[in-house]
Structures are given as C-alpha cells and as structure tokens.
Chains A and B, each alone.
Chain A
C-alpha cells in the first residue's frame, strides 16, 4: 500500500530533525557559555559592521530564480512524459520536441538579452 510508505517518510522526518536538534541540545548542556558583547558582534573580517545588513539585492538573482522556476515546471511536464513514453511513441517525441523548442526560445531570448551574464 502506497500510503504506508509515507509513514516511514514521516518517521524519517522526525528522526532527521531529532538528529539535527539532539547534538545542539547536547552542546547546550555540555559546551561552555560565557556571553560577552564582543562575541555577539557579527564577524565581518574583524571590522565592526557598517550600515544595514539586510539590504536590497540586484535583480540578477531574481532572474536566475525565475529561470529556475520556469525550468522546474518544465521538468514537471517532462517527468510524466518520460514515464509514459513507452505507451506513447513517436507522436509524443514530436510533441515534446515542440515543447522543448518553445522553452529553448525563452532560454535563447534570455541569453541574447544578456541576462545570463553575471556582472
């Protein structure tokens, strides 16, 4: 039964989180703790932090994330296609070629526009 497998996955999730949290909890008990203001300063190469840290970033990052989302969704379409290819045949191959060609146009557009250039 499929759903019972996911009980294992859920248990594994708990085990993994325990595995992550337990050593931290252990360190909390075992490790020395001497707080001081100097220790709380962010380490930025030994210089005191200057200005605001959480600043705006450039659009470049966003474009890469967007490209990633588009290609991720493409993968979502590719997966069922690949799994069912045995039942489908040449027609599916043609369909997928068209689909990929359409998406490749997007990639080529991004390339030609220069947004794939990390400046």
Chain B
C-alpha cells in the first residue's frame, strides 16, 4: 500500500509541477474531498445501514433499531464507536502487511468510483473524457482486495470464501461492463457528463428495449458485484463462517462493511446517471435543464431540483436492493456462475448489437420524435424479447439434458435417467 501512496505522491508532485491550477478549482476540489468524500458520502452510507436495518425489520415484522436516539437515528454513530473500540485481532499465521492492505484497497476502490458521478449540472467531482472506463477500472480493483483479504488471513474458510468471491465478482463484471456499452454507443462518449447531456435531449436511455435490457442486466450484475443477496455467497455464513472477512475484527471489518454499502450507493448512482437520466424528473422532457439561464440563481434552483430527483432515484434503487434481499433466498453456487455466463453474458452481447440497430433507427436520423421511437421499439422490442426467450429456452433444454452432477436435481422435466435421483420437482 505504501507503494501506491508513494506513487501517488510522486505523481501529484509531478503534476503540480506541470499544471497551474486557479484558485476556484482548488477550492472546489478541497470542498469535494473534505466535505463530500470525507463527510457526506460516509454519512449517506452510515444512514444506508440504518435504513437497511429498518427496512429489513419492517419486512420481517419487527421494529428495528429504536433505542439510540429518535427512531434509532444515532445507531450508525453507536456502531462506529463500537467498531473503533473493539480489539484489532490479527491471526498468528497471517501476512500482516497484506492483511492490513486488503481492506484499505477495497475501500479505496469504492471511493475512487464516486469521482466521476455527475449528480447535477456542473456537480460532478471531475469530468474525465473517459469517465466510464475509469469508473469500471476503479471498481475492478476490489476483487484483488478481497482475494488478498482471504489469502492473508491464513484461514481455510477465508481463502475459500475469497476464491469464490473473486470467481463470482469477475464473472459478473463481464455482463456489468457489457451492459454499459449501449450507453457509450448512444452518447458517443465515455464522459458521464456527456451521457447525462445526451439523456436531456433524447430521453432516458432506459426508455428503449435495448436500454431496458441493459439496465436490468446492469442491475442484476451490480447486485452480484457488491455481494448482496441473493448473490451473497462469499459471505454464506452457513457454510463459510463469514467468508473472506472471517479473520477481520473491529475497524478492519468495519472498512469492508463500509465499502460494501459505499459500493451499493455507487452502483445505484451509476445506474441512475447512465440509464435513468440522472436528475431528470420526466423521461422525455428536458424540463429543469432547459430553465438554466445566465444568472447564478437559476443554476442553484435547477441544480437543487436535479440533485433532489437524483437522490430520490438512488434511494429507490437502494430500496429495491434491500427489498430483493428481504425476498429472495441465497442462490446455489453453480447456478450463480451459470446465471452469469449462460444467461447474462450472451444476452448482454446480443444487446450490444441491438443497441447499434436502435442507434441506426432512432438516433442517427436526427432529432428525437415519437414516431421514430415507436418504429424503433417495434423493431428492437421483439428482437430483445426473442433473445431473452431464446437464452432461457436453450438453458432449460440444456440444463435438463445435462444435470450438474448425477446426485443433483436439475431444472427441467424429470424423466428416466435424467435429472435428480428420485427427487421430483414437486418434492423440492
């Protein structure tokens, strides 16, 4: 980790020699770093934990935290104090330096992802020309941290949990990244700010058949990427104790915990920014953005509106993530991997091509109009539906013919010599 820090310092020094920054840029950055990244984002994440506990409690007909402060609102603070005052245990055989570096790497990855999210007009920390690639690159650091956590603990369950976690993360990263390609194609840029601007003019990207499929794939894959139920096998406590963070206690565990929630927030922000039109309240209207004038006040008002809508959308996605957790049981490990490689990846590949067709039909001819949108939907909608149906049909047929193992029951009709040994579907 010191190497990263050293490289970063050298790099910063290098750049500060080459680039002159004006005062306002410096002030804006200081505000983002110290208030945003050190204050607001961790705060949001802390209250997401509170929200999760409340929501999960409601789903299970309980009350949830209500002792610490009104409605249990001080619970996250109590949790933080508890985590910091816990003893910091490192197992005897562990690789100390790597054991420390792993959670720091994971939380760094979660932080870096937030750097390019455009919350409103002019309200993005930075606008990189290849922002989306940067975002995906930053989020791809966390599997390495998770592997190092499991490996350095010198605990069999940690290591197996880490290997499984990494296998899952890399498998779901492929459909997650492929699902963002239609957006790049339609916007013609990787910059998340340009992607937002495009959605102001053309409507939300989710409002088209390939966009909808892309959004669904992105959503499912993102849930798997952040290790949430029903894809939380890495932490399957019934088989792997706590997975890769078994040997982490106190604040080091807290960092993994924080990173998980920060990632949930980040992927919700990403999905909102690239598919759900950022802070736009109505799909095909450029409503608040077209009110922008010369005066500073118009900026303040429009940005406040955009930011509020953005946060509402993010909150809605976070709620769906919690809802999914409260509803669905954990997947079986072989089905988890199958679902990525045999369902999501082929669908996402087809979706890339369908997105190009949509571009030719609707976007290339020029300004947006309803007739062209309907024509595009009429052409691509059936293709998308057929692709989904085809992938499921092939998997059903294939799965019924070749069971995972002789002992395991499989999806599909049970015939003689096929599927589970005397286990009927009704019996399960």
Direct A–B contact in complex, judged by CB atoms less than 8 Å apart: yes
Instruction: Give the interface of A toward B (CB within 8 A).
Output: 1-17, 19-21, 23-24, 26-28, 30-34, 37, 39-45, 49, 53-54, 57, 61, 64-65, 67-68, 71-72, 75, 78-79, 82-86, 89-90, 92-93, 96-97, 100, 103-104, 107, 110-111, 114, 116-119
Q: Do the beta carbons of B352 and A100 come within 8 Å of each other?
A: yes
How many residues from B make CB contacts under 8 Å with A?
100
Could you pull out 16 A-B pairs where Cβ atoms are within 8 angstroms?
A: A9-B128, A10-B11, A26-B84, A42-B156, A43-B155, A43-B247, A45-B157, A53-B156, A64-B167, A64-B171, A65-B170, A67-B174, A79-B190, A83-B189, A93-B360, A110-B341
* A68 contacts B252, C-beta separation under 8 Å: no
Q: 4 tightest A-B contacts by CB?
A: A40-B92, A16-B111, A20-B104, A118-B334
A44 to chain B, nearest CB (A): 6
Would you call B155 and A44 a contact (CB within 8 A)?
Answer: yes
Main secondary structure of the interface of A (DSSP, over half): helix
Proximity string of chain B (93-120) to chain A, C-beta cutoff 8 Å, 1 when within and 0 when not: 1000000100110011011100100000
When C-beta atoms are compared, the residue in chain B nearest to A21 turns out to be B104
**A7–B115 touching, CB < 8 Å:** no
Residue ranges of B at the interface with A (Cβ–Cβ < 8 Å): 1, 4-5, 8-9, 11-12, 15-16, 18-19, 21, 25, 29, 32-34, 37-38, 42, 83-93, 100, 103-104, 107-108, 110-112, 115, 125-129, 133-134, 151, 153-159, 163, 166-167, 170-171, 173-174, 177-178, 181-182, 184-185, 188-190, 241, 246-247, 250-252, 254-255, 333-334, 336-338, 341-342, 345-346, 349, 352-353, 356-357, 359-360, 364, 398, 402, 404-405
Indicate whether A12 sits within 8 Å of B155 (C-beta atoms), given known contacts A83-B184, A116-B341, A118-B337.
no
Residue of A nearest to B357 (CB): A93
Min CB gap A54→B, angstroms = 7
Q: Determine how close the nearest CB of chain B comes to the CB of A106; give it in whole angstroms.
A: 11
B405–A119 CB distance below 8 A: yes
Known contacts A11-B33, A33-B87; A17 and B108 CB within 8 A of each other: yes
Q: How many contacting A-B pairs (Cβ < 8 A)?
A: 248
Shortest CB-to-CB span from B43 to chain A, Å, is 13
Q: Which listed residue, B133, B170, B364, touches A68 by the CB 8 Å rule?
A: B170
- Max count, chain A CB within 10 A of own CB: residue among B38, B174, B356: B356
Which residues of B are found within 8 Å of A79, using beta-carbon distances?
133, 181, 184, 190
- Complex Cα distance A31/B9, Å? 30
**B residues within 8 A CB of A37?**
92
The distance in angstroms between the C-alpha atoms of A90 and B189, with both chains bound, is 19
Residues of A within 8 A of B38 (CB): 15, 19
Contacts of A96 in B (CB 8 A): 352-353, 356
Residues A7 and B33 in contact, CB atoms below 8 Å apart: no
Q: Quick check: A19 and B111 within 8 Å, CB to CB? A: yes
Q: Inside 8 A of B252's CB, which chain A residues have their CB?
A: 24
User: Which residues of the other chain, B, contact A82 by a CB distance below 8 angstroms?
Assistant: 181-182, 184-185, 352
With CB as the reference atom, state the residue of chain A lying closest to B172: A68
Q: Are A71 and B85 in touch, CB under 8 angstroms?
A: no
Q: Are A12 and B112 in contact, with the CB atoms below 8 A?
A: yes
Given the complex, which residues of B lie within 8 Å of A64, measured CB to CB? 167, 170-171, 337
Q: Is the CB of A78 within 8 A of B181?
A: yes
- B87 contacts A10, CB within 8 Å? no
Given contacts A43-B246, A117-B334, contact A12 B37 (CB under 8 A): yes
Bound complex: CA of A83 vs CA of B190, how far in Å? 7
Known: A4-B21, A17-B1, A67-B341. A42 touches B133 (CB 8 A): no
A16 touches B155 (CB 8 A): no
Contact of B167 among A10, A33, A61, A89 (CB under 8 A): A61
